[in-house]
Chain A
Amino acid sequence: MINFQYVQATDVADAVRQTDGDPRARFVAGGTNLIDLMKMEVEQPTRVIDITRLPLRQVEPTPSGGLRIGALVPNTDLAYHPLVEERYPVLSSAIMAGASQQLRNMASTGGNLLQRTRCAYFYDVATPCNKRTPGTGCSAIEGLNRGHAILGTSQACIAVHPSDMCVAMMMLDATVHVTGPTGDRVVPFADFHRLPGDAPQRDTNLNPGEIITAVELPPKGFASHHTYLKIRDRLSYAFALVAIAAGLDLDGDTIKEGRFALGGIAHKPWRDPKAEAVLRGQPANAATFTRAADVLLRDARGYKYNTFKIDLARRCIVRALGQAARATPQSQSHKKIA
């Protein structure tokens, strides 16, 4: 690990100030991803700013009926928070589908958003990777790409975003609250993460020196009809091949509003308004769900080892929307898929 200067931030303004315009400064909270990457020397910060003492650990109802989640709330605390379990159970479920309890105890809400891809080439400093070292090429496009993206890829990068939590937040229309050198701003979740394009080194639209202070959920939580379904190579403690967060607002058997976001298939949590429009006003059945899946996957493209994800994603969408319609959300401990 490359040596670095360690400093502790006393408040949010101090944290921003401590970055001092240095693009190689990094905030550390849970550390579960950053420190791993620092050991591999994928991340080589010159300055590490410890933000664990900042007062960003509250989960509070908002005046508009939503929920404001402090950036330092640990994943476990968020998943087990009574208001989240009651009003946003899909978020609890998504969090519990990811990582292990030890990691969830450490990992912060803001850090979860800033997780970097688990592409093996990104981690292996001996191989070319445009995300790690821009301009060197993508080893995955012609390499072992079984876990890689099928939507939103570019010639420069086919990596996927690894988070489960973010998939549920995307479905829930969350907003990301940030503070930076020029003040505060609110970023819609859909605009927070980026597609790789020709700059895959940039995972998010955060500007230099900006820090996430909170994630806010709007009132609508789809608590009656939701699911988080995650398909992976083993039943626990593995990244998704395909994951989906789904929520339905039903009037009898008719869909008033349906939403679904997918993980494991793109550089960001993937949601498609055109696919959701297919659901509106339609009967909640497999035929409707299949049509919506086909729309979402219309531009999907497989590579040598991951073409199976297109069909897997289609089946996951149909299965998950069915779980949501039947109000039988996927359990994250009893693994049988209903």
Chain B
Amino acid sequence: MTDPEDGPTFHPTRRDVIAAGAVVPIAMALPPGAAAQSPSVAAASGRVAVSLTINGTQHVLTIDPRTTLLDLLREHLDLTGTKKGCDQGQCGACTVLSDGRRINSCLTFAVMFEGRHITTIEGLAAGGTLHPLQQAFIDHDAFQCGYCTPGQLCSAAGLMAEGRAKTPDEIRELMSGNICRCGAYPNIVAAIQQAMGRS
């Protein structure tokens, strides 16, 4: 099963079993600045060290270089809010923010994010207050099954930071990397318009 140092809970889950079958990560949550690591280089074992900040918490891990950022979040850090849809960059369910820019976490190796700041859906709300986009998605019923929603929200947060979308057409175009199989698109556009008006 998963190494006890891996996370706060030690009850075996399906995820733990899958993770243990692949690689056993060494993960520690450290205060910011506590671990300034040298650039990662493949060791003889093939495992590599990486230090990155996720939702304001610095993590230092030793991982298989094949680990995608998405798998690092979900399988190694139990940040399962970020979803795996297609795992090919086609659906947007895995969208997170890297230094404030939206990216597909499935199409990148975690080890390449040395020193970067990642924001996931778990980091979007400030304290106990929902992000304006989260509130707007609730107000506009902008989801049904909810599987695409974390990616939609992170993508919309990136969209607002870019400041390029002004019209509904522009919102639709710049949100086209996020697929919603339930077809909640009209409500998603309305929710984003509301959040843009507020902030």
Residues of A within 8 A of B (CB): 1, 3-8, 28, 30-32, 35-36, 39, 48, 50, 52-53, 76, 80, 99-103, 105-106, 236-237, 332-335
Segment at the interface with A among B12-20, B138-146, B165-173, B189-197: B165-173
Given the interface pairs A8-B41, A102-B103, A333-B167, the reply to whether A35 lies near B174 with Cβ below 8 Å is: no
A1-B66, A5-B46, A102-B95 are known contacts. Are A237 and B104 too (CB-CB below 8 A)? no
Interface set, chain B 77-104, CB cutoff 8 A to A: 87-89, 92, 95, 101-104
Check A36 against B88 for contact (C-beta < 8 Å): yes
Residues in chain B near residue A106, CB distance under 8 A? 103-104, 107-108
Instruction: Check: B133 CB closer than 8 A to any chain A CB.
Output: no
CA of A102 to CA of B176, assembled, Å = 10
Interface string of B156-179 (1 = CB under 8 A from A): 001100101001011011111110
Among candidates B68, B103, B109, residue contacting A105 with C-beta atoms closer than 8 Å:
B103
Which one, A3, A52, A102, A236, contacts B155 given CB within 8 A? A102
Select A6's contact among B40, B159, B177, beta carbons within 8 Å: B40
B119-158 contact mask (Cβ, 8 Å, vs A): 1 or 0: 0000000000000000000000000000000000001001
Please measure, in the bound complex, the distance between the C-alpha atom of A76 and the C-alpha atom of B158, giving whole angstroms: 12
13 additional contacts, CB 8 Å, given A101-B174, A102-B92, A236-B173? A6-B48, A6-B109, A8-B39, A28-B109, A39-B87, A39-B88, A100-B92, A101-B175, A102-B89, A102-B155, A103-B104, A106-B107, A333-B170
Q: Which B residues are in CB contact (< 8 Å) with A28?
A: 109, 112
A331 CA to B177 CA, complexed, in Å: 18
* Size bracket of the B interface: 35 or more
Could you tell me the distance in whole angstroms from the C-beta of A69 to the nearest C-beta in chain B? Answer: 19
Name the B residues within 8 Å of A80 (CB-CB). Answer: 164
* In the assembled complex, B54 has its CB within 8 A of some CB on chain A: no
- Contact check, A6 vs B111: say whether CB atoms are below 8 A apart: yes
CB distance from A332 to the nearest CB of B (A): 7
B159: nearest chain-A partner, CB-CB: A101
Q: How far is the CA of A30 from the CA of B112 in the complex (A)?
A: 10
Can you list 26 contacts pairing A with B, beta carbon distance less than 8 Å?
A3-B46, A5-B42, A5-B46, A6-B109, A7-B41, A7-B42, A8-B41, A28-B109, A32-B108, A35-B68, A35-B108, A36-B89, A39-B87, A52-B112, A76-B162, A80-B164, A102-B92, A102-B95, A102-B158, A103-B104, A106-B104, A106-B107, A237-B176, A333-B167, A333-B170, A333-B173
